[in-house]
Structure 1
Amino acid sequence: MSASSTPAGIRVEPRHIRFDVQQELRTLWHGNSLFRTAFFNALSLQFPDGEEQFIHSVRLYRDRIEDPKLKQEVRGFIGQEALHGREHRAYNEGLKARGYDIDAIDARFQKHTRWVKKLPPSRQLAGTCGAEHYTAVLANAILGHPEWMAGATPQMRALWRWHAIEETEHKSVAFDVYRQCVGDERLRKVVFLFVTYNFFKFTFLNTCSILKSEGKLWSPRVWLEGLNFLWGRPGILRRCLPDFLAYFRTGFHPWDQDNRDLLQRNLQELDAVYNPSERSARKSA
């Protein structure tokens, strides 16, 4: 029996797509909304160093994987995450042009990732599984609710959809490595509590840093809009909450949420625009 649980038809392979969003990052690219723009920018600020840590934690166990399918998917996972880091690093550099102190924000998060790298490998991998669960759930929400990105510029919508597609494709890779090489259910759940705290902590701090740079940190109007966006209507975090909490279920697996049809629809639309030759190759494979 294969150690990989990635469903048939899902290929974990990197797409070499570049997104030129430098000019758009000088604007309130998400519907001219300061909070919505700041929230997504705050997420992006965590990705380069976070994804570097994900790669590191999986590499610690790569030599212990014998299943050929899972070994191939680990290579794909590393490739996808490396390209995500590249694009979001360029994205974050673009935010400097708007006057944000990105170096200070990076230093704050890098202090955390240096601490994580000192943890035992099993805890590092458990942390990656937990963080990948958050990205997978948010990715599913972005793909399944395109109205949540309504008003965003086309190029930014494409960047976030590309990231969401690949997070969905590889959502079980680190989990399968953990299940094969560690397999401690209690550790998985306990570490997820710490991941949850840090995910919301750094997203909140990054959002505050951005709003402070805009002179709107104490604006009731901005925060009311933000609370509505996250917890009211559309309430993107409120709507995701049941899926976030599913991680605590004994026997949980990322593909319990089988969103292959949603993935394929979005993948066809992305490939039609960015890589028609690759799309043709997939059909003939």
Structure 2
Amino acid sequence: MTISHTPEDVSVQPRHMHFDVSEDLKTWWHGNDAFRTAFFNALSLQFPDGEQQFINAVRHYRDQIDDPKLKEEIRGFIGQEGLHSREHRHYNEALKARGYEIDTLDARFQKHMQWVGSLPRDRQLAGTCAAEHYTAVLANAILRHPEWMAGASPQMQLLWRWHAIEETEHKSVAFDVYRHCVGNERLRRIVFVFVTYNFFKYTLINTCSLLKTDGKLWSLRTWLGGLNFLWGRPGVLRRCLPDFLAYFRKGFHPWQQDNRDLLSQNLAELDGGVSSA
């Protein structure tokens, strides 16, 4: 029986890429804008430990999957997330070298992830599905609206595009495992609420800490520009909100947002960017 609902023309395979962003991270790499730079850096701080937890949650159920297609996609998912974790660990080490209080932020988030890892397996997998939904929606936005990364350094644009492409490719792997092995729709929605709270909580904490180090935490101009970026124009989070909330729909599946056209376009541009780098 086929369990996977990843389209046949979407391949979940890791790309062994490396990005040296140490020089970029010595600057406000996103258009010399303190808030935009801090926001994306704050997201990066959650990835190494978060994505390792995603891998662990899916591995708990891997032996219960008989569908050869989904088994292969699980291998690809683990490979992609492992490489994302590696690259963002290097990214975060470069932030630490610049003088940000990364150890304090890491310790706080690691404590949270240790708690997540102690939960029953079905809740861990439900949490992974919820977090993967956030990364998939944000990935779609980055791919669909390249102007949102306008002004970012070329290497950082490449890194975030690569990450967005692979998050899109594997966006339903954990979800398909959950639906087959757990299938509790009520639990899926409840856990999403808690993941939503924690996702925005740690993103805000990290952003504020980075801005504090930059001397911009109490800058009204910085926050007005940041709020406009997230909720005004272009309104990154505002425009993602309907897609975030789609997770509550009865019968929801990640590939109901069919963005294979974006994958094809961005894969070609990624290959071009790598060959010219």
Shorter chain as denominator, the TM-score bin is over 0.9
Q: State the 1:272 CA deviation.
A: 2.8
**1:2 partner amino acid:** T
**Higher mean C-alpha displacement, 261-270 vs 142-151:** 261-270
**Residue deviations 1:27-72 (CA, integer Å, cap 9, x gap):** 0000000000000000000000000000000000011111000000
Aligned to 1:16: 16
Distance 2:60 2:66 in 1: 14
**1:72 partner amino acid:** E
- Report the 3-state secondary structure (helix = DSSP H, G, I; strand = E; otherwise coil) of the residue aligned with 1:86: helix
- Asked if residue 87 in structure 1 is aligned to residue 116 in structure 2, the reply is no
Q: State the 1:18 CA deviation.
A: 0.3
**2:209 partner amino acid:** S
**Residue deviations 1:220-261 (CA, integer Å, cap 9, x gap):** 111101100000000000000000000000110000000001
Aligned to 1:174: 174
**Residue deviations 1:59-104 (CA, integer Å, cap 9, x gap):** 0001111100000000000000000000000000000122101110
Preserved CA contact (<8 Å) 1:3 1:176: yes
Q: State the 1:274 CA deviation.
A: 2.5
Unaligned regions of 5+ residues in structure 1, if any? 277-285
Distance 2:8 2:72 in 1: 14
**Residue deviations 1:156-187 (CA, integer Å, cap 9, x gap):** 00000000000000000000000000000000
Aligned to 1:250: 250
- Write out aligned runs for 1:69-80 (5 A): 69-80=69-80
Aligned to 1:262: 262
Distance 2:273 2:15 in 1: 13
TM-score, L = length of structure 2: 0.98
Distance 2:166 2:48 in 1: 15
**1:98 partner amino acid:** R
Aligned to 1:158: 158
Q: State the 1:273 CA deviation.
A: 3.2
- Asked if residue 33 in structure 1 is aligned to residue 16 in structure 2, the reply is no
Preserved CA contact (<8 Å) 1:31 1:151: yes
Preserved CA contact (<8 Å) 1:17 1:274: no
Say how many residue pairs are matched: 276
Preserved CA contact (<8 Å) 2:58 2:174: yes
Distance 1:52 1:209 in 2: 23
**1:78 partner amino acid:** I
Aligned to 2:200: 200
What fraction of aligned residue pairs are identical, expressed as a percent? 75
Distance 2:268 2:137 in 1: 20
- Report the 3-state secondary structure (helix = DSSP H, G, I; strand = E; otherwise coil) of the residue aligned with 1:56: helix
**Residue deviations 1:2-42 (CA, integer Å, cap 9, x gap):** 10000011000000000010000000000000000000000
Distance 2:269 2:229 in 1: 26
Aligned to 1:122: 122
**2:85 partner amino acid:** G
- Report the 3-state secondary structure (helix = DSSP H, G, I; strand = E; otherwise coil) of the residue aligned with 2:122: helix
Preserved CA contact (<8 Å) 2:158 2:273: no
- Report the 3-state secondary structure (helix = DSSP H, G, I; strand = E; otherwise coil) of the residue aligned with 1:46: helix
Q: State the 1:268 CA deviation.
A: 1.2
Distance 2:274 2:228 in 1: 34
**Cα RMSD for the two superposed structures:** 0.9
**Residue deviations 1:189-231 (CA, integer Å, cap 9, x gap):** 0000000000000000000000111111111111101100000
Distance 1:91 1:151 in 2: 19
Aligned to 1:49: 49
Aligned to 1:106: 106
Unaligned regions of 5+ residues in structure 2, if any? none
Aligned to 2:140: 140
TM-score, L = length of structure 1: 0.96
**1:79 partner amino acid:** G
**1:196 partner amino acid:** T
Runs of 4 or more consecutive aligned structure 1 residues displaced over 3 Å after TM superposition? none
Aligned to 1:279: none
Q: State the 1:107 CA deviation.
A: 0.3
- Asked if residue 184 in structure 1 is aligned to residue 184 in structure 2, the reply is yes
